[in-house]
Amino acid sequence: RRPPPPVTMLRSAARAAGVALTADTAMVERVLGPPRFEDHDGTDRVCVPGIVTGLVWTAVGGAIQYVEATSVAGKGCQLKLTGQLGDVIKESAELALTWVKAHARALGLEREVAALVAGRDVHLHLPSGAVPKDGPSAGITMATCFTSLLSGRRVRSDTAMTGEITLQGVVLPVGGVRDKLLAAHRGGVRRVILPRRNMRDLKDVPVEVREQLELIPVTRIEEVLVNAFAGGYAYVPVGGEFAPGAAPAAPAAAAKMARVGRITLHKASL
């Protein structure tokens, strides 16, 4: 026969002694041991360009997954992937880098992409290498990571994201949104960027979680970049490119474009 849990034993002892049992943080740690998972340490982790906070789904629920990239001397624009990644997520990484290179001029990264082609390679890593990772929901995270690396700008440390993209920059819906938002809330994330077509899944998310997260729905990767960087990101369309929901803008309109696209959802709009 199994002995009763420690909490049950404490409760019984307190009841017998006629005293109230107050469970505070110190008591919980004494009974259950030290915490196995730390809160979101985005301020420490997302502290240099080329690091983004992503959200993933696992067999035991949602989780925070950092995505890191760096540039090294090499053959020229080669992409190295590490972190025990599956075929689907590898294709997402290749697609994300292709999109950034194809839109280098609009992103203001022509010189940086030219340096890649001339003899710099990119190494993309997803930490926790002992854990296998796969799935199609990290596209916008990787594209943002590459843009951050090449632009030399840090992504907001209070922001996490999930969503896949196409070669045309369209953000596609993903699965596991409820668990991912619970993981973001549990980890102390304040803002989450997610596909607009996933907004219908919010009905499954507890109200208290929705109220404490700033949810930012997007339909294109340009909107992701605007919301991922402090102060926005000036994406200036060229040639046949179009900004989300607008005609091509002149360079003078870049600052204005950087402020467009931020949508905060409050309880009343859910």
Give the residue numbers annotated as catalytic, written as ranges: 137, 180
How far is 119 from 98, CA to CA, in rounded Å? 17
Q: What is the dihedral angle through the alpha carbons of 37, 40, 44, 45, rounded to the nearest 10 degrees?
A: 90
Q: What is the dihedral angle through the alpha carbons of 262, 222, 259, 155, rounded to the nearest 10 degrees?
A: 80
CB 133 within 8 A of CB 85: yes
Sheet of 61-73: strand order equals 79-82, 120-125, 61-73, 51-58, 159-161, 191-195, 214-218
Question: Which alpha helices (DSSP H) does 18-67 contain, by range?
Answer: 25-32, 42-45
Joined together, the tokens standing for residue 1 give: 């026969």
How far is 212 from 152, CA to CA, in rounded Å? 30
